[in-house]
């Protein structure tokens, strides 16, 4: 599968119901994706159940070797995978986009393979002895989103396989081909039945996956609303859950910053993947003393970032992946305009143009309770809110139901860390926003979900702890 055409042919040679897949940048037909049903899901669960015992019986080192082989396979097919991802999701090949995402798949696979998780001796006092082991759960259902469809799938698949589980994956409905391609490449080297994928609607296939008594764990990344439905659907079976849900991340800029020095990092914190990232910077609070300076440098950096068709090598920003998301961003920016907020960049989409392109937009002098601030826009529109009192801005940052990430920007790291301790978020970055590391646990607070991914915590999350005492 070392060419785009070969890869596409392998995943679109399906029988039964299909749907057309179109490029969100050009509207061009890419191919057809299967529309599978609950019967096909049950068959996939059958395969996963049948394969799980033998997979779990392998030595931990052997499962790790399989993950390295899967990473090798992804690297060998990296360019066709990136091209398909760019065509279907819309993100450009270059910048922190399609090639970056495919590369991250291999990085996270290798990290999951190589992270040690030894047996822990809990008590050994001469009279009592107890060990803590981490056993496989069984079958893991992995439900991935459309914004980072390959990378987030790996975040779910890699630790699950490492710990001896088998996986049934369900890709997002608007990035089905990306999910199918990733699994097809990995399945060139994995044993039969270990990694399965079913492409169907969330309302039928996704719901049945979360309700299945044969699935011991569900991993889901997506909206808080869908996450709540998964909680309800899985409750009858007491299914284990890891939920990485919506985010409306706040950034707080203190008055001691060098505005020119932080402009690029502010931009990428907010606009990576054209703003379509759960842990992107989505509301920026800037102290009055540096407000105009930060705006000036941020706009100067942002206005030169090329947006366009993903396969054009010079572009680093692409379209919104689907028209529904485009309409959400447009509605929220129009709400800000109507309130009297000042648009300092963008905000003027060509609604009749081909593709779901919404221009890079920065909105200043906006009320902190405007919809563009309080709702997750999930697109290239950043509200910048002026503040003067630190206690007040911390209260504003914490008042929403979301708590995925946050950031503090300051020349004084100790002061920034003191503020970080007061923020209600799963991760608080200092002088950056949104950077992830495969060994650093990641997950949300409040209604941004529960459970942690990555590193040792991520391995433990897809295992059943068992104490052996005596």
Q: Would you please indicate which residues are annotated as catalytic (active-site) residues?
A: 244, 278
- SS3 call for 193: coil
| Residue 452 CA from chain centroid, whole number | 13
Cα–Cα dist 206/119, whole Å: 35
Cα–Cα dist 348/207, whole Å: 39
Cβ atoms of residues 218 and 237 within 8 Å: no
Alpha helices in 20-121 (DSSP H): 38-57, 60-76, 78-89, 98-114
Measured CA to CA in angstroms, residue 120 lies from 99, 124, 159, 418 at distances of: 39, 11, 19, 33
Token representation of residue 199 = 């492409």
User: Looking at the DSSP assignment, which residues form a beta bridge with residue 317?
Assistant: 307
In which order are the strands placed within the sheet that holds 129-136? 120-124, 129-136, 463-469
b/e 110-149 (16+ beta carbons within 10 angstroms → b): bbbbebebeeeeeeeeeeeeeebebebbbbbbbbbbbbbb
Other C-beta atoms lying within 10 Å of the C-beta of residue 86 = 27
The interaxial angle of helices 176-186 and 151-162, nearest 10 deg, is: 40
- If you ran DSSP here, which 8-state letter would residue 204 be given? I
- SS3 call for 65: helix
Cα–Cα dist 20/36, whole Å: 14
Nearest CA among 371, 363, 360, 420 for reference residue 394: 420
């Amino acid at each position: 599968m070392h060419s785009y055409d070969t890869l596409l042919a392998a995943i679109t040679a399906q029988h039964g119901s299909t749907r057309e897949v179109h490029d969100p940048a050009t509207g061009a037909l890419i191919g057809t994706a299967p529309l599978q049903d609950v019967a096909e899901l049950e068959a996939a669960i059958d395969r996963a159940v049948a394969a799980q015992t033998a997979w779990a019986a392998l030595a931990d080192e052997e499962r790790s070797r399989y993950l390295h082989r899967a990473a090798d396979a992804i690297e060998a097919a990296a360019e066709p995978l990136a091209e398909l991802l760019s065509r279907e999701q819309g993100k450009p090949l270059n910048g922190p986009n399609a090639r970056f995402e495919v590369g991250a798949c291999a990085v996270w696979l290798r990290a999951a393979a190589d992270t040690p998780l030894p047996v822990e001796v809990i008590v050994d006092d001469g009279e009592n002895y107890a060990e803590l082991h981490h056993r496989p759960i069984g079958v893991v259902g992995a439900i991935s989103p459309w914004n980072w469809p390959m990378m987030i799938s790996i975040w779910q698949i890699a630790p699950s396989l490492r710990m001896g589980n088998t996986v049934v994956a369900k890709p997002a409905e608007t990035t089905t081909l990306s999910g199918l391609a990733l699994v097809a490449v990995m399945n060139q080297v994995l044993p039969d039945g270990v990694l399965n994928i079913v492409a169907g609607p969330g309302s039928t296939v996704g719901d049945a996956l979360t309700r299945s008594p044969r699935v011991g764990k569900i991993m889901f990344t997506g909206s808080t609303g869908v996450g709540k439905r998964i909680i309800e659907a899985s409750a009858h079976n007491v299914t284990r859950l890891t939920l990485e849900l919506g985010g409306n991340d706040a950034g707080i800029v203190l008055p001691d910053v060098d505005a020119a020095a932080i402009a690029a990092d502010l931009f990428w914190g907010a606009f990576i993947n054209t703003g379509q990232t759960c842990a992107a910077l989505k509301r920026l609070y800037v102290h009055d003393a540096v407000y105009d300076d930060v705006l000036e440098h941020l706009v100067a950096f942002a206005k030169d970032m090329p947006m366009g068709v993903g396969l054009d090598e010079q572009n680093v920003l692409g379209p919104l992946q689907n028209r529904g998301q485009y309409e959400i961003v447009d509605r929220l920016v129009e709400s800000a305009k109507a309130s009297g907020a000042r648009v300092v960049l963008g905000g003027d989409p060509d609604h009749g143009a081909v593709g779901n392109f919404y221009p890079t937009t920065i909105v200043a002098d906006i009320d902190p309770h405007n919809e563009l601030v309080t709702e997750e826009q999930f697109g290239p529109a950043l509200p910048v809110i002026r503040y003067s009192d630190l206690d007040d801005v911390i209260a504003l940052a914490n008042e929403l139901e979301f708590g995925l990430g946050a950031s503090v920007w300051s020349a004084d790291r100790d002061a920034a860390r003191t503020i970080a301790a007061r923020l209600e978020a799963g991760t608080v970055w200092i002088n950056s926003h949104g950077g992830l590391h495969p060994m650093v646990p990641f997950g949300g607070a409040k209604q941004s979900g529960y459970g942690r991914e990555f590193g040792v915590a991520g391995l433990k999350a897809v295992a059943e702890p068992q104490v052996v005492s005596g």
